Amino acid sequence: MAVKRNKSRKATPKVTPPGLTPLQKILLDEAGRKVTITSEGRQQEVSIEQVVTRKLLQVAASGSVHALSNAVNEIILAQRIMQREIEEDIEFAHRVKAHQQVLLDKARKEGQDLNTVLPHPDDIEIIPGVGYKVHGPWDEAELKIVLGNCARRDLYILQAALEERLGEPESDQNSGGRDKQFPGASALVLVHFFNDGLPARFHKSDMQLIADLYKCRRLTKRDLLKITHQEWAAIGSPKPRGWRMPSLRKTCADLERVTEGCIELLHEMMAGQIMSDREISARLRQLQR
């Protein structure tokens, strides 16, 4: 016997489950916050979740669990929602990574510049139970910054080799050993500063940096003077032939000042105090003086 279906019945629409409310986000942050308690005469660092669970069991043993039970239920609900969002992020990251890998393989096959594939699939890190991170440029603007920092790193290797070839300036030779530094010290500090700040895919190992330095050392003094002069002009910061870096002490002081200024700028951006690109650019120019 055939089953008759009610054609007037409408399909139940799919309902997208709601995300975390602001209150639930605060609740999760507080639940994971670490506090120090004294238990059995010893200090322990535990999360608020653990404190609530212990209190719940203690109150349950004495008879009343209503308020604490409600708090635990809210935490569990918020955690489930957060876990679902994490799983959705991970699924999205897998799809993007696979798609970008197809584009990368196509670019490699056609002999195109592999840097045009953004984000690069190797830069997408999928973290189980957490989500994903992109450790590299997301678009052409970010790629331009990264490649500019790569160029500066390689230029400072060239500058270090040049200063080694030029030897110590006369003022240092007559200083009597006070505040002594080897030629190229400031340049090598900046090599590591720029290299350590690059994404992993653009980062060079210590052995690669040493190999690059030895390649530059094989150049003649004339070629070092010429190429270094040209490279400074190429990055928009022309220097006279034979120009030397400032002293190591001044270089380290400038790096400390710029680093502290960038951290302060980042905090202001996260707090919404600085929003426009013009304001950010002005602050960065100010730090470079």
Q: How confident is the model at residue 173 (pLDDT cuts 50, 70, 90)?
A: low
Q: Picking from 45-49, 71-75, 164-168, which range would have the lowest pLDDT averaged per residue?
A: 71-75
Question: What residues pair up with 45 in beta bridges, in sequence order?
Answer: 36
User: Do 146 and 221 fall into the same domain?
Assistant: yes
Contact status, residue 269 vs residue 280, Cβ threshold 8 Å: yes
Rounded mean pLDDT of 68-74? 68
User: Do 26 and 112 fall into the same domain?
Assistant: yes
Final residue in a domain of this structure, among 73, 108, 134:
134
User: Do 56 and 160 fall into the same domain?
Assistant: no
Q: Does the pLDDT value for residue 34 go beyond 60? A: yes
Look at residue 12 and tell me if it is in a domain. no
Q: How confident is the model at residue 39 (pLDDT cuts 50, 70, 90)?
A: confident
pLDDT, mean over the chain: 83
Query: Which tokens hold the place of 155?
Result: 């230029």
User: Do 255 and 272 fall into the same domain?
Assistant: yes
User: Do 145 and 194 fall into the same domain?
Assistant: yes
Look at residue 9 and tell me if it is in a domain. no
User: Do 212 and 121 fall into the same domain?
Assistant: no
Look at residue 205 and tell me if it is in a domain. yes
Query: Which tokens hold the place of 160?
Result: 């270090």
User: Do 90 and 159 fall into the same domain?
Assistant: no
User: Do 204 and 262 fall into the same domain?
Assistant: no
Report pLDDT for 79: 78
Report pLDDT for 6: 47
User: Do 85 and 62 fall into the same domain?
Assistant: yes
Contact status, residue 114 vs residue 107, Cβ threshold 8 Å: yes
Q: Provide the residue range defining the domain that includes 265.
A: 247-289
Look at residue 10 and tell me if it is in a domain. no
Q: Omega into 119 within 30° of 0, i.e. cis?
A: yes
Q: Does the pLDDT value for residue 264 go beyond 80? A: yes
Dist CA 127 CA 94 (whole Å): 11
Look at residue 7 and tell me if it is in a domain. no
Look at residue 165 and tell me if it is in a domain. yes
Look at residue 204 and tell me if it is in a domain. yes
User: Do 145 and 206 fall into the same domain?
Assistant: yes
User: Do 235 and 254 fall into the same domain?
Assistant: no
Contact status, residue 136 vs residue 147, Cβ threshold 8 Å: no
User: Do 106 and 78 fall into the same domain?
Assistant: yes
Number of independent structural domains in the chain:
3
Final residue in a domain of this structure, among 75, 107, 134:
134
Strand (E) positions, the chain?
A: 34-39, 42-47, 124-127, 131-134
Tens of pLDDT along 193-246?
Answer: 999 999 999 999 999 999 999 999 999 999 999 999 999 999 999 999 999 999
